[in-house]
Amino acid sequence: MINENIENYKTVYRGQPFWINTYPSKGSIWVTYDYNFAKEYGEVKEFKMPKTLNILDTEYYDKWEVLVDEFDEDGEYEEYKYQPTDEFILFLKSKGYDGFVNGNNILVFDKTKLKY
């Protein structure tokens, strides 16, 4: 149960396939604002994401392209949206980001920042 003011959070969801028994205890985690989208992936778990997290929107290419180019000047912009490496995540964290949103998906770099 969250003891903090619920207005400081956004509800996000994660669909967990039935063959995966546990949620990752640390590291990054993919979530979404869309319950039905999450349900497509399996049993849905609800989380509260602090509104204070600095989540980069990858649709703003002026920021996204600059960051990808700074990290890897030959990098594929779309590849980093869908399969970011651990090194790229560390790079974005060093720039002050807590995650990024890509369409319906939100990658939160530190799962422990989510409440459930």
Span 81-104, pLDDT tens digits = 998 999 999 999 999 999 999 999
Annotated domain spans of the chain: 6-113
pLDDT tens string 16-70: 876 666 655 568 999 999 999 999 999 999 999 999 999 999 988 889 999 999 9
What residue ranges in the chain does DSSP mark as E strands? Answer: 9-16, 29-31, 43-50, 55-57, 99-102, 105-108
| Tens of pLDDT, residues 74-83 | 888 889 999 8
| Predicted pLDDT at 60 | 82
Q: Which pLDDT belongs to residue 50?
A: 96
Q: At what angle do helices 61-71 and 86-94 cross, to 10 degrees?
A: 120
- pLDDT exceeds 50 at position 2: no
C-alpha 62: how far from chain center: 20
> What is the rounded radius of gyration, in angstroms, for the C-alpha atoms of the chain?
15
